[in-house]
Amino acid sequence: MGLHLSSAWSTPRGWRLITVTLVALTLLLVVPLHRLSDDSPGVYGHLTNYLSHEGAAYDVEEGFVANLNETTTNQILNDKEPAEKVPYDTDSPQYTGEKGKEASDSAEKPAGAQHPEDDKKPDDAEDDGAVLEIDHGDSDTPQNTDQIHSEVPKETTKPESSETESHGVQSGEPKPQEDGNKPEEADKEHRPQDNTQPQSGEKKLQADETAPGDEQKQPHSETKTQESENKHQQGENKAQDDGDKQPDGIKLSDQSQNNNDHKNEDGDSATKAQVYQDSATTSIASEFMPSQTADLDVPSGPLSNWTGVCDGFPNTDGIMLVMKTGATEAFTKLPAHLLTSLQCLDDYLLFSDLDQQIDKYQIYDVLKDVKDDVKKGRKEFDLYKAQTECPIAQQYCTENMKEGWNLDKYKFLHMVEKAWEMRPNKEWYVFAEADTYVFWSNLVWYLRNRVNGTETPYVGSVAMLKGKPFAHGGSGYVIHGDTMRKMVEIPDLAHKYDMMATHECCGDYLMSLAVMETGKKVKQAHPMFNGEKPVTLPFGNNHWCEPLLTMHHMNPEEVSDAWHFEKTRQKQGFIQIREMYHQFWAPQLEAEHDDWDNLSDDVCYIGFGPEAQGKATDHQKGRQRKENEKNAIEQHAHRSKEHCAMVCEAENLDISEDDYYNLKDDKERNEMIRTRYSQKKGNKEWHTGRRCFQWRYHNNVCCIARSFKRGKPRKEQKPEEKWTSGWFVQGINDWIDAKGDCTPKWKD
């Protein structure tokens, strides 16, 4: 049956109209069908769900969250190239790999012209998460494995040509960031695990590996695979050439991919995803459309002004550190030293009462050779036995045993023997405890320039016991190598002093007795060897210009703070005691602090009645000023904290009783004190003569100090027993100004 047309349509002009009409109808049918292909959202792009990292789809406009466990979407690459199914790891960053970058070029390049090696992962790429294994079952749908990347792609700009991409950026260098290269904030918020680092045990998928179950590829991927192999043989790796290899120590945020060309119909940056089902399994892939600057996950490390952890550390050749600790405290106190100054020492010895190991650092038991006749019947050796027999962490076996102090005194002479046995013939042996901090720059210079090892081979902070001087162990001390050799030559040295230790208190005292057997005695070097720490140092005369060699009772945090101070210190030259004040206290100096004990106890003022005397401690009563020696202000010091504070404020102002009592109230008296103090302005000699810097008030007892100390909190349950401490701030500052910039005062 033929088609009958009227004469108007049968003319040549009519046939042309028919042809044009058919072509137009064809285009109207073909183009929408193409736009609805499974590689493009087309006109239905606004219905696309936004993938959440936890495996849920989140529609930004609707606010709807749907469970997408074991579902798949097509990866939206461009408007022309069909998407490939890829396995998706919900624990790793969103997958786009190089395809995300190639998407911007897809409108200009046919599918066959795009670089197949872009889908390969560089050999040195890191895996940001475990690869999700997908069970394909009996599905006939081919799977593509060339697109799998665990490395987070870096932001890139749209290349002008493949040649530019290959040679425009050196391997390992990030490309410049464009304004459009920004991850979407909303997308970032729904991916909390994107910045997680890979675990050390996780398998990394290399460029030439395929994911489990992905042996088959889509038909067009064979050509791409062959091209990839050929280009790989030529040494081409687009992932590296485009700068996707990330700088060491820096991990780009997972949203920093693609360029600004990818936008949805509303012009908003988004992650597009489409869901489809195959016969057995599903996979998820998405396209990132960054809209914000990439986040840099920079690992923690040394401060920017630390040019090197051991820069400036002195040469300690010939100087051997011998550090003493105990099994019950080693894991608490030693790590702070191992992480700070000890990492800059070439060699040192760690001695204790148990063989232990902290990582690669060996701690040696120096009490192994103590004889049974010493151990027998001694409670301290019950602790030693419990330690050596403990099969688990020490705290579980010894937490209720309190003999650590008594056991410690046996270590001293055994340390001498062991140190000489393990590291003989050193010039100096520095003995310190696990709560001792050593200022090595000062100490090394002091030993090499200020100490005569032949005449004074034993130096430290001197204390007295039974009329004999000894170097306080906690403050640290040094013994010259010649004296060490003479000590170990004493027959049965350690056992001899072990027997003495059973009825003596202190191992550092026994050490002094052993040194005396060599014909030498201790040299005083206090306050350079110091038994205090920043919060207890008595700043003032004789504790200001002196160089600091050691501090004691330093907890791990304070050890770290002191090391940080040394490494960031701007001033050159020897570290002086005054720097501890300026560094750790001066910025917070205040006039008064409740529930605080600033350790003021040099002179105490107590009421003369029996009730007042009964409230004071024996220590306070031993330091109280006699009634007939008090001036008018001191006579009232015990009445209140305000009267206590006036003692330091009125020091050396020559206020007589008449001056004081002729005024009607404390307000007028305080005004008189301020007036007289202001008259001393500029009198450096008067200010440097100050002997009252701070006060403490508790239980109607006022005590003042001839130095200024920070102290620490001290709280009582009853309000009437509250501790209150105060500092004469103007007097302290004027004293410091009067002292000026003093030169180091070495104790010779």
Domain count, the chain: 3
Residues 402 and 546 in one domain: yes
Binned at pLDDT 50, 70 and 90, residue 129 comes out as very low
Q: Mark 563-596 as b/e (b = at least 16 C-beta within 10 Å).
A: bebbbeeeeeebbbbbbbbebbbeeeeeeebeeb
From the list 503, 522, 502, the residue with the least C-alpha distance to 511 is 522
Which pLDDT score, from 0 to 100, does residue 8 have? 57
Residues 571 and 641 in one domain: no
Residue 300 inside a domain? The answer is no
Residues 523 and 551 in one domain: yes
Q: Which of 569, 586, 603 is the last residue of a domain?
A: 586
Residue 64 inside a domain? The answer is yes
Higher pLDDT residue, 559 or 191?
559
Residues 346 and 374 in one domain: yes
Which pLDDT score, from 0 to 100, does residue 17 have? 81
Residue 21 inside a domain? The answer is no
Which pLDDT score, from 0 to 100, does residue 401 have? 84
Q: Which of 586, 617, 632 is the last residue of a domain?
A: 586
Where is average pLDDT lowest: 45-59, 319-333, 452-466, 625-639? 45-59
134-173 tens-digit pLDDT = 344 444 444 443 433 333 333 434 334 444 333 333 333 4
Residue 535 inside a domain? The answer is yes
Q: What percent of the chain has pLDDT over 90?
A: 56
Q: What average pLDDT does the segment 197-224 reach?
A: 39
Q: Which of 187-196, 256-265, 671-680 has the highest mean pLDDT?
A: 671-680
Alpha-carbon torsion, ordered 333, 336, 340, 341, to 10 deg: 0
Residues 381 and 433 in one domain: yes
Residue 17 inside a domain? The answer is no
Residues 375 and 237 in one domain: no
Residue 121 inside a domain? The answer is yes
Residue 46 inside a domain? The answer is yes
Residues 266 and 175 in one domain: yes
By CB neighbour count within 10 A (0-12 exposed, 13-18 middle, 19+ buried), where does 4 fall? exposed
Which pLDDT score, from 0 to 100, does residue 15 have? 76
Structural domain range at position 636: 591-739
Residue 29 inside a domain? The answer is no
Reply yes or no on whether the pLDDT at 396 is more than 70.
yes
Mean residue pLDDT across the chain: 74
Residues 390 and 534 in one domain: yes
Q: Which of 541, 568, 586 is the last residue of a domain?
A: 586
Where is average pLDDT lowest: 135-149, 653-667, 706-720? 135-149
Residues 549 and 625 in one domain: no
Task: Map residue 373 onto helix, strand or coil.
Answer: helix
Higher pLDDT residue, 177 or 30?
30
Residues 502 and 442 in one domain: yes
- Domain CATH number, residue 509: 3.90.550.50
Q: What average pLDDT does the segment 567-586 reach?
A: 96
Binned at pLDDT 50, 70 and 90, residue 120 comes out as very low
> Does the pTM of the predicted model rise above 0.75?
no
Reply yes or no on whether the pLDDT at 587 is more than 60.
yes
Binned at pLDDT 50, 70 and 90, residue 22 comes out as confident
Higher pLDDT residue, 480 or 119?
480
Q: Which long-range contacts (CB under 8 A, 24 or more apart) does 341-347 make?
A: 341/313, 341/437, 341/438, 341/440, 341/563, 343/309, 343/310, 344/309, 344/310, 344/313, 344/440, 345/316, 345/321, 345/440, 346/316, 346/317, 347/320, 347/423
Residues 598 and 544 in one domain: no
Residues 494 and 406 in one domain: yes
Which pLDDT score, from 0 to 100, does residue 4 have? 53
Helix axes 481-488, 507-516, angle to 10 degrees: 90
